[in-house]
Amino acid sequence: MTAALVTGASRGIGRGIALALARAGLDVVVNYASNTAAAEEVAAAVEETGAKAAIVRADVALSADRARLVAEAYEAFGDIGLLVNNAGVAPAVRADLLEAGEESFDRLVGINLKGPYFLTQLVANRMIAAGTAGRIVTISSMSAYTASVNRGDYCVTKAGLSMLTKLYAARLAEHGINVYEVRPGIIATDMTDGVKEKYDRLIHADGITPIRRWGTPDDVGRAVVAIATDLLPFSTGQVIDVDGGFHLRTL
């Protein structure tokens, strides 16, 4: 495998994945939505490792943007062996389940769920046409199974990604394409910056995660590298928790 397409690679977890893949020797398509300076910084850091980078600005929620993203990715590197559906957003305002509005719901469904659903369809068809084995990874969240009643819209989109993974894993196995869900826990990025104090307390004082530290984008990047370097060849539809053990039930 030589090249990866990482959505939302300009910041946070996507940036960590892009850099980890580059260090493992893969060229990287750095997709982003609006922060050009951040995308350029990631591309430069990718190139510092000796790998190649291509930057593509595209909103994964938009059909025309997704088509252009895939076309430009294949134009840049000839073949894409790994798709990482990472781009995602939290609600602009956390609102109670009994009050939250449709606007936020539609925005999150578009970016977090519809985007990866149809981007995966596009890339899977290209992989099948190319006849080369491929890998698809979707970054969901512990919110796929944890009910947070002040951001139900986010939780619903992440739960949907779990089914996306199962569906594409079942459909694509015959084509040599393995599909995985990587489920991060609490990771230090811009997304969690606004709730830093709350999570600091939950992690360090309350021990909400058996491994008592914040996760890093590189923690997630390493899990994706394991998939990209084919360390899990007989696993598909698999969930990989990168959450310091948050998912454990303890007594």
**Element (H or E) spanning 15, and its range?**
helix 12-23
- Applying CB under 6 A, the span of 48-56, 170-178, 184-192, 223-231 interacting with ligand NAP comes to 184-192
Asked if 10 touches ligand NAP (CB under 6 A), the answer is yes
Compute how many other C-beta atoms are within 10 angstroms of the C-beta atom of residue 49.
17
Burial class (CB in 10 A: 0-12, 13-18, 19+), 185: buried
Asked if 109 touches ligand NAP (CB under 6 A), the answer is no
Asked if 87 touches ligand NAP (CB under 6 A), the answer is yes
Q: Which residues are catalytic?
A: 154
Asked if 160 touches ligand NAP (CB under 6 A), the answer is no
Whole-angstrom Cα distance, residue 25 to residue 27? 7
Asked if 111 touches ligand NAP (CB under 6 A), the answer is yes
Task: State in angstroms the smallest separation of the CB of 166 from ligand NAP.
Answer: 18
Complete edge-to-edge strand list for the sheet that includes strand 3-6:
53-57, 27-32, 3-6, 82-85, 134-139, 177-184, 238-242
Q: Which is nearer to ligand NAP, 132 or 192 (CB)?
A: 192
Which of residues 14, 81, 91, 244 is near ligand NAP by CB under 6 A?
Answer: 14
Q: Which is nearer to ligand NAP, 105 or 133 (CB)?
A: 105
Helix, strand, or coil here: 100?
Answer: coil
Compute how many other C-beta atoms are within 10 angstroms of the C-beta atom of residue 191.
15
- Would you tell me which residues interact with ligand NAP (CB under 6 A)? 7-8, 10-14, 31-35, 38, 59-61, 86-89, 111, 139, 141, 184, 186-187, 189-192
